[in-house]
């Protein structure tokens, strides 16, 4: 059973991470690059933005599309930056700028009050041309931890250098890629999505 799909992202870091996660869990899958238009992420939830991206990619390519929307939720900020994580310091802000602003906002707040979690929603969209009536499905995953006082580590991207997973004395950026991919929010969301992906592969292939 094989399955081809397009990953609706222009983020090279995210694409590589997904390729590793998917390759380990579904080696028969073929991940195709997406070179279509950048969708307008105007949703106010992770689900909404994930489906905006997946629907755009499915319509543009005519293929099964996967898209994720992920973010960091900080307890004392009421769940912010949340869906605004990638642009917390402004539109087109760098990862470093987002991290620095968040650390400045937390200031010297002590560790019991630095709780946070990464969240990921992965949307699956199958166009009508491949499956009568089309099909949509979403899966979620969360990764609980706390925020460090300064960035550490050279792996990963985004807020990884300041996120310390529960039970780990390293940041996500200090974990080797295979360590992160075994426990991250994306890995957990994909694990929840995998049975549906396998079911869709059977339907489309049949």
Positions annotated as catalytic residues are 69
Measured distance CA(80)–CA(72) in Å, rounded: 7
How many Cβ atoms from other residues are within 10 Å of residue 33's Cβ? 12
3-state SS, residue 126 = strand
* Tokens (6 digits) for 46: 């992770």
CA distances from 97 to 37, 49, 100, 170 (A): 26, 22, 5, 21
What tokens were used for 94?
A: 């760098």
In 3D, which of 60, 50, 59 has the Cα closest to residue 18? 50
Residue whose pair of structure tokens reads 């080797």 in the numeric block? 176
Q: Which residues of 187-203 are buried (b: 16+ CB within 10 A; e: fewer)?
A: bbbbeebeeebeebbee
Helices 185-205, 12-25: crossing angle, 10 deg rounding: 60
Match 């780990």 to its residue by tokens: 168
Measuring CA to CA, how many Å separate 178 from each of 12, 17, 23, 102?
Answer: 17, 10, 11, 27
């Amino acid at each position: 059973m094989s399955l081809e799909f397009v990953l609706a992202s222009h983020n090279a870091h995210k694409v590589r991470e997904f390729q590793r996660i998917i390759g380990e869990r579904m080696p028969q899958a073929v991940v195709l690059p997406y070179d279509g238009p950048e969708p307008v992420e105007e949703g106010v939830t992770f689900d909404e933005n994930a489906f905006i991206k997946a629907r755009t990619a499915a319509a543009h390519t005519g293929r099964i599309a996967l898209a994720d929307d992920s973010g960091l939720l900080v307890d004392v900020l009421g769940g912010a930056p949340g869906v605004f994580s990638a642009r917390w310091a402004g539109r087109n802000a760098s990862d470093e700028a987002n991290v620095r602003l968040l650390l400045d906002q937390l200031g010297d707040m002590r560790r019991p009050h630095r709780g946070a979690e990464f969240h990921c929603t992965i949307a699956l969209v199958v166009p009508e041309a491949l499956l009568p009536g089309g099909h949509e499905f979403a899966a979620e995953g969360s990764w609980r931890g706390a925020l460090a006082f300064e960035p550490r580590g050279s792996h990963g991207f985004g807020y990884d250098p300041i996120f310390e997973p529960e039970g780990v004395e390293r940041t996500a950026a200090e974990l080797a890629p295979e360590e992160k991919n075994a426990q991250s929010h994306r890995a957990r969301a994909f694990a929840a999505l995998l049975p549906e992906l396998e079911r869709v592969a059977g339907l489309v292939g049949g």
